[in-house]
Amino acid sequence: MLGGSVLWFRHGLRLHDNPSLHAALEDRSVPFFPIFVFDGETAGTKLVGYNRMRYLLEALEDLDNQFKKYGGKLIMLKGKPSDVFRRLWEEFGIRKLCFEQDCEPLWRARDDGVKSACREIGVACREYVSHTLWEPDTVIRANGGIPPLTYQMFLHTVTIVGDPPRPVPDVDMSGITFGTLPDCFYQEFTVFDKTPKPEDLGVFLENEDIRMIRWVGGETAALKQMQQRLAVEHETFRKGSYLPTHGSPDLLGPPISLSPALRFGCLSVRSFYWSVQDLFRQVHQGRLSSAHFITGQLIWREYFYTMSVNNPNYGQMADNPICLDIPWKHPEGDELQRWIEGRTGFPFIDAAMRQLRAEGWLHHAVRNTVASFLTRGTLWLSWEHGLNHFLKYLLDADWSVCAGNWMWVSSSAFEALLDSGECACPVRLGQRLDPSGEYVRRYVPEIARMPVDYIYEPWKAPLDVQTRASCIIGKHYPAPLVNHIVAAQRNRNAMKELRQILQKAPPHCCPSSEEEIRQFMWVTE
């Protein structure tokens, strides 16, 4: 019995700002086992498309390469976590299991099972908060035992809690004794001697186009991206502004968002938060106090996590106390499938849905547009359809934040009672965000030759224009799935009737101000 400590990676796929790593290496006289267990659920692998799985595997390979520099490796195997750790105890007498907190309720059964097994065999479990800025339970206690029902109340509560902790220092990895698995593990579990490919885990390419923009997973890429992002923020702060992509998002540029890296924990949210805050203070030399507004998207992430932590039904309508029970209609014919596949006949919607499948990514302004189109804007279908699709294909989709966004945009929660006034138009928003139509031409090549005057409404093009563009509507590219203007008006009327029936809002989440709605929906004056 050699003893030993285990670092169990789930999210938090990094070495920087990793308090669990510090704890696992407190005693360097015993073997160290860094482990990732493919249990069919961890890190969002229950519902997963090719791009998401590839991003995760690249993050694991990056960790493996970093450990190899110090004579070790990341142990990757398939199995049930509690079985794996029990066997490590039987073979090595491991004494300590360390991991980063996964606060969402869907991980509770897994973690409770592991903690229970560790109690039985006398292995200490050490859990640390570093995937969120604040521990959600701490925020809830500070708010009197209930989650804050508005974003402004959340801001008020975390002001009382105080600043989030700063990142912990990097760990000196030299001189570590890495544990290795005995042969019996190869007989009892599927052990990967090198990082598996998505196909090894039963995930295959569908319609993803691997020639499109590629997002690269892993801590090394994430830290480089953060430095590039901070350079952009520095310029923006110097000009007296902030949120550089908010007013004029670049729909065609290279990947710059850090949200996939934050979602998998390749980048520490605390490192990014404090880097931005410190940069703001440095640029303004203390003349302006930095505030939550410069890191607002990170705070929204925290808010959604906190709202979900004690609500296991947060990702569905049924029995979800913060979600309005809107009577969405059942999909008719192939309308849901046409939305999923990008065949609605609305080029801006179709470009976005195809980009999602091809690259695993959408700009937030575009996400809101396709979500509004599916739900209260046009098709009047439940947000649950959209959530499940995004959870499979969107690189940065985690359960709490993604469900929160879908509830907001569909008017189901996090907004004023059934107020569909800020419904994104699938034609006008595209014209504003990409007047030249290049975004549509990239992802919907059937209409690439359509003149700019008709690129967002090709069904209005005269037949001779369609012929010259080699795109006959109804033949080469579908006619609109619905009359959007008629559908939008019908939905507004339905919302109005529902509002009168409900009279007043049940205790669901809603925004604090009109400005908050505009910022969330990326709607400018």
Question: Quick one: three-class SS letters along 343-405?
Answer: CCCCHHHHHHHHHHHHHCCCCHHHHHHHHHHHHHHCCCCCHHHHHHHHHHHCCCCCHHHHHHH
The Cα 399–Cα 391 span in angstroms is: 7
Cβ neighbours of 523 (radius 10 Å): 14
Q: Which of 224, 190, 205 is nearest to 53 (CA)?
A: 205
DSSP 176-192: --B----HHHHHHSEEE
Q: Would you call 425 exposed, middle or buried from its count of C-beta atoms within 10 A (0-12, 13-18, 19+)?
A: buried
* Coil, strand or helix at 147: coil
Angle at alpha carbon of residue 222, lines to 151 and 75, rounded to 5°? 110
φ, ψ at 97 (rounded to 5°): -120, 120
Binding residue per annotation — 301? yes
Kindly list the distances between the CA atom of residue 199 and the CA atoms of 50, 68, 195, 357, in Å, as whole numbers in the listed order: 9, 24, 12, 17
Binding residue per annotation — 285? no
Binding residue per annotation — 83? no
DSSP 230-242: HHHHHHHHHTT--
The residue written with tokens 């949210």 in the block is 269
Tokens of 405: 């966004």
Kindly list the distances between the CA atom of residue 54 and the CA atoms of 23, 57, 161, 209, in Å, as whole numbers in the listed order: 29, 5, 38, 13
Binding residue per annotation — 314? no
* Coil, strand or helix at 417: coil
Binding residue per annotation — 304? yes
Rg (CA), the chain: 24
Binding residue per annotation — 250? no
Q: Which of 509, 348, 331, 314 is nearest to 441 (CA)?
A: 348
CA 246, 376, 371, 268 dihedral sign is: positive
Binding residue per annotation — 300? yes
* Coil, strand or helix at 9: strand
Binding residue per annotation — 101? no
DSSP 445-502: GGGTTS-GGGTT-GGGS-HHHHHHTT--BTTTBPPPSS-HHHHHHHHHHHHHHHHHHH
φ, ψ at 126 (rounded to 5°): -125, 115
Binding residue per annotation — 397? yes
Helices (H) then strands (E): counts for the chain: 21, 6
Binding residue per annotation — 305? no
Termini Cα distance of the chain: 68
Binding residue per annotation — 242? yes
CB 465 within 8 Å of CB 449: no
φ, ψ at 464 (rounded to 5°): -65, -30
Binding site per annotation, positions for FAD: 242, 297-304, 396-398
Binding site per annotation, positions: 242, 297-304, 396-398
